[in-house]
Amino acid sequence: MSPGLAPGPENPHGDGLPPMKKRIAFVGTGGRALSFIEPVVTTYRATNELVGLCDLSPARMAYYNGLLAGELGYHAVPAYPADRFDEMLRKEKPDTVFVCTKDSTHHDYIVRALEAGCDVITEKPMTTDAAKCRAILDAQRATGRRVRVAFNYRWAPFRTKVKELIANGAIGRIRSVNLEYLLDTNHGADYFRRWHAQAAESGTLLVHKSTHHFDLVNWWLDAIPAQVFAYGDLVFYGKKNAEARGDGALTKYPRYTGEPAAKGDPFRLDLDESASFRGLYRAAEADSGYLRDRNVFRDGIDIHDQMSLNVRYRTGEVLTYSLVCYSPREGMRVTFNGDRGRIEYHEFIGSHMNRAVREKDFKIEEKPGSEAEGEWIKVYPHFQTGYTVPMPPVAGAHGGADEILNRSFYAPDAPATDQWGRFAGHEQGAASILVGIAGVESIKRNQPVNLTDLVPLRPEARHLSELV
């Protein structure tokens, strides 16, 4: 018998037995997956084990296995083509499957993993339309397995501070919210180079990107959205828009990498300039057919680049929301109007774009004319002097959120509940995407859309905290 071990990271309970490692498999090995895989095999490797990768592209999985066996000091793991996903589940027997594929395929992998007896963590958005959402909810109900959505926005310390102020009644009961989000011509343009530019793949940016913002407001208010009315247009990207404003020269090539005529194009993305892009995307073009650097001024883009909508909540609040994807600066401003005052939240920390780098290499990328002003929160109580709220320190990717979120996924001592309700399950994931899905429907119909007409999400519940 081996001697007992003292408590510590390798044996947190000090019971003399090695900890049972949680078996984790990933489906989807694009750039975003790296921020979730690296902590599994480094910080939390004592209690977690990466047991498999699955992807459409063998080249991408080979790139990841090179990182695992090299820089990350782990080892290569079994790699399964997408059509052998079920085989991976049978052979590797993961406890948890992490889904990081294209948004339009999330539901398929989530449902199959649940039916195989696995828990699931999925990158946001949970899925892209009402039918796929219903399929996930039905599968979870039938299997009883756990589904979590990786809403990293909730976990950033400065956004949690906003939640704390509202929960503590700093301005009384909230009656309305205004949220304006600006994506700049660095970050915003990147969605129009990729598969996100097709509504069938992303659900439009009202689902893919705005799910972050809708989830934030749902969570800040502890409220469930009820009805949406929306407008959306494509006014900047796409060939016709470029030609109409005299930028026809920027439309002449289908992609940017290897194109001499694109040298001076401010929207150019050269995959050969990034080692990670070369490994993940350039090398994978032959086996995946995916071009990561398509011209943002091409034909065939069918999503909007500016959107606005109103949301009525079951508890009576109203959200006024806008998203612009071609701004010269990046960030958001949010205002809360309460019956005891007003909160103004300002977040302009500069542009960033997913370059598939490791977290230690994450950086804010600036373009000429952009401006990073930081974050601040100001409170204006009725009949009192306004004040600025001290901001908590921030370090790391996504405003410090990724590190905290990964701890909640992987740490052996992660609590089952959170003081601020930051854990998001399948029902809260649905509450977010359904705002965007209803918004897309509203744009098509030119009329308000009730969310329960799309998915009957716990009609008796009023507060987000009542949802899993």
pLDDT tens-digit readout, 115-141: 999 999 999 999 999 999 999 999 999
Residues 6+ apart with CB under 8 A from 209: 181, 183, 191, 323
Contact indicator for 140, 114 with CB cutoff of 8 Å: yes
pTM here is 0.92
pLDDT tens-digit readout, 329-376: 999 999 999 999 999 999 987 766 555 555 555 444 544 444 457 789
Q: Decide which of 373 and 295 is more confident.
A: 295
Annotated domain spans of the chain: 153-237+301-396+424-466, 239-288
Please state the rounded mean pLDDT for residues 134-157: 96
> If you search the block for the tokens 């100001």, which residue do you land on?
378
Please give the full DSSP string across 126-142, using - where no structure is assigned.
S-SSHHHHHHHHHHHHH
Q: Give rounded-to-5 percent helix, strand, coil for the chain.
A: 35, 20, 40
Fold of 153-237+301-396+424-466: Dihydrodipicolinate Reductase; domain 2 (3.30.360)
Highest mean pLDDT of the ranges 293-302, 345-354, 389-398: 293-302
Find the farthest-apart pair of alpha carbons in the chain and give their distance in angstroms, rounded.
79
pLDDT tens-digit readout, 193-252: 999 999 999 999 999 999 999 999 999 999 999 999 999 999 999 999 999 999 999 999
* CA 407/CA 74 separation, integer angstroms: 19
- Burial (CB < 10 A; 0-12, 13-18, 19+), residue 383, is exposed
Measured in residues, the chain has a length of 468
* CA 384/CA 386 separation, integer angstroms: 6
Count CB neighbours of 306 within 10 A. 17
Residue 245 has which token pair? 């404003």
Please give the full DSSP string across 77-123, using - where no structure is assigned.
--EEEGGGHHHHHHHH--SEEEE-S-GGGHHHHHHHHHHTT-EEEEE
Residues 6+ apart with CB under 8 A from 138: none
